[in-house]
Amino acid sequence: MNNDPRLELISSASLFYQQGWMVGTAGNLSARLNDGSFWITASGKSKGNLQENDFVRMNLEGEVLESPNPQNCPSAETSIHQAIYSLFSKANACYHVHSVEANLMTRYIEGDNLPLPPIEMVKGLGIWQENPLVTMPVFKNYLNVPQIAQEIIERFQNKLPDIPALLILEHGVTVWADSPEKAKNQIEIAEYLFRYILASHH
């Protein structure tokens, strides 16, 4: 893997922006390097035209190691990326987008899970069985993001999720994978599943 994944993050961000999943400056993408640090989109950047200096490099303790532009500050949701990287040693990319469909999922949630339809598409999230009963874990949205990150850590330490994806209420989906390319596919699959759920209830 190329040791600087920023170009791949830029290309995915542009794609998601065109899909309407990263409007304004919403959402954030990160990728981990061999030394365990990770590049993450800096706060307040438009995702439609990111440049290589629109990122900050962080460590798992939340310290900024490198900031190509001194004005950059880490995304407000950095703590969620830190939580994912500390929980899943194989995760090398973590993508978070805000789609309209993700926010319309609230009425289909049961408890703190979103049941996913048992369709072919869930294979893209690593589930290879017939008629799988798979759920996506759902978390409350707090203004104080580290509180969300803490709940993610507590819940996943007790029970690993079925799939490498989670939904934050009224907010958006987060996925993680062993490469940025896989994370991009998983975002697309999650969004497809949301559209499918909405369409099948109409």
* pLDDT tens track, the chain, 202 positions: 447 899 999 999 999 999 999 998 889 999 999 999 999 999 999 899 999 999 999 999 999 999 999 899 988 899 999 999 999 999 999 999 999 999 999 999 999 999 999 888 898 898 888 778 899 999 999 999 999 999 999 999 999 999 999 999 999 999 999 999 999 999 999 999 999 999 998 7
Alpha carbons 73 and 77: distance in angstroms, whole number: 11
Please tell me whether 202 is known to bind a ligand: no
With a threshold of 0.85, does the pTM exceed it?
A: yes
> 128 in a domain, yes or no?
yes
Nearest CA-CA partner of 92 in 5, 193, 187: 5
Instruction: Please tell me the total count of domains within the chain.
Output: 1
> 90 in a domain, yes or no?
yes
Cβ atoms of residues 37 and 65 within 8 Å: yes
What six digits make up the tokens of 116?
């996913």
> 100 in a domain, yes or no?
yes
Please tell me whether 81 is known to bind a ligand: no
> 145 in a domain, yes or no?
yes
For residue 28, the SS3 value is strand
